[in-house]
Amino acid sequence: MLVYEDFGPGRHRESSLIRHALGSTHDEPLVAGLAGGVGFMYFVFEYTGRPPQLTIVAQAHPVSWVRSALDRLRVPYEAAHSAAPRWDRVHAALDAGRPVFCTVDRSGLPWHGAPDEMAGADPYTVVLAGYEGDSLYVEDGAGSPYRIAAEEFGAAWSGHRKGRHEMIVPTGPADGEPDVEGALAATAARLTGPVLGNKFDVNFGFSGMEKFAAQLRDTRTKAGWERRFAAPDAFRAGTRRLYACLEEEWTAPGATRPLYADFLDLAGRQRAAELFRESGGHWSRLAGLARAAAADAAPEADAAPDPAVRRALLDEFATLVEQSVALERRAVTLL
């Protein structure tokens, strides 16, 4: 038994999940914009024996995408946590025709391939779209729901420990007009900061973008990409991650900017939309350069990429980031 029938990948995974679960009555750009739209977080983590781990989140962060979207769509919902999976609650919701949003450890879902030891820390959202006997049907961005044994899904659900078996269940239709103005204000505040209210705010919003550009240009300190990603394996890992972060993971293509521009068109902010769309082109250009650089850095190479070539590439990366910052600062004043 499925509680809805529309599945398939969209431009942004979480926005598509929400859209489908609510009966596909809202456009994906509207859902994405109301959930928070664009943002920026930049960190590089270093662990002994591993290449530096780049993390960029180009969508609104840290926010609950599902809660924010439902709140601003004016859709009522129930949210609950528990010490263990509450299958009685899951079955009751699905029997009532209501989808169930869950946050899981994605490495525990078999269709995600080899386990990732870091994945459990991420609040990865999926939707329970139905069940049959001891099997569940899970929407996770594919053209049809995945079928998985409840026990196996329960292990993935428990694997995201911070989530405490969170389940969010929409309980009825929207009871008002979408809160577009609130969403616009939240996006502007997130980009201009502060976001967390602590020392890590330097890594968020425009401040985070400027830090990213500065480290790309830094040729002197160990925090700069010149030194931090000098080794062949580090350079490959960094450029691969850069592409993934701007085009595939926790984002829509173009660092979510083109999708957000479509939301701004719906909201009557055409000039801001043009600026974010142009910025998205720069982010995609950067991602494409990074992908090509990673492909050119063959795994069997014994030496680091040519220093002059790498330096020119990092400077080009930085220029594209700086151009995007300038465009987005102008756009925010028009929200």
Residue 2 lies in a domain: no
pLDDT at position 298, please? 62
One domain for residues 68 and 133: no
Residue found under tokens 């999976």: 85
Residue 310 lies in a domain: yes
101 contact partners, CB below 8 Å, separation of at least 6: 17, 21, 66, 125, 126, 127, 128, 166, 167, 168, 169
Residue 209 lies in a domain: yes
| In contact, 97 and 3? CB cutoff 8 Å | yes
Of 171, 188, 207, the last residue of a domain is 171
pLDDT at position 315, please? 98
| Token output for 216 | 């790309």
One domain for residues 196 and 317: yes
What one-letter code names the amino acid at 236?
A: R
Give CA–CA dist 200/211, Å, rounded.
Answer: 12
One domain for residues 165 and 265: no
What one-letter code names the amino acid at 325?
A: V
pLDDT at position 296, please? 74
Q: Which domain holds residue 94?
A: 77-171
Residue 299 lies in a domain: yes
Of 150, 171, 192, the last residue of a domain is 171
Of 138, 171, 204, the last residue of a domain is 171
Give CA–CA dist 266/283, Å, rounded.
Answer: 22
Q: How far apart are the first and last CA of the chain?
A: 43
Residue 202 lies in a domain: yes
Residue 6 lies in a domain: no
Q: Show pLDDT as tens, one digit a residue, over the chain (335 residues).
A: 899 999 999 999 999 999 999 999 999 999 999 999 999 999 999 988 889 999 999 999 998 999 999 999 999 999 999 999 999 999 999 999 999 999 999 999 999 976 555 555 678 999 999 999 999 999 999 999 999 999 999 999 999 999 899 999 999 999 999 999 999 999 999 999 999 999 999 999 999 999 999 999 999 999 999 999 999 889 999 999 999 999 999 999 999 999 999 999 999 999 999 999 999 999 999 999 999 998 776 665 555 568 899 999 999 999 999 999 999 999 999 99
One domain for residues 185 and 293: yes
Residue 5 lies in a domain: no
One domain for residues 214 and 228: yes
Residue 150 lies in a domain: yes
One domain for residues 95 and 41: no
What one-letter code names the amino acid at 42?
A: Y
One domain for residues 276 and 138: no
Domains in the chain, number: 2
CATH code of the domain covering residue 164: 3.90.70.10
Three-state DSSP class for residue 139: strand
One domain for residues 84 and 131: yes
Phi, psi of 230 (to 5 degrees): -75, -40
One domain for residues 197 and 296: yes
Give CA–CA dist 305/186, Å, rounded.
Answer: 42
pLDDT at position 123, please? 86
Give CA–CA dist 20/298, Å, rounded.
Answer: 41
Closest CA to 92 of 3, 160, 165: 3
One domain for residues 224 and 314: yes
One domain for residues 272 and 132: no
| Token output for 247 | 């085009």
Closest CA to 143 of 15, 18, 20, 256: 20
Strands 53-59 and 135-139: unpaired
One domain for residues 66 and 83: no
pLDDT at position 303, please? 57
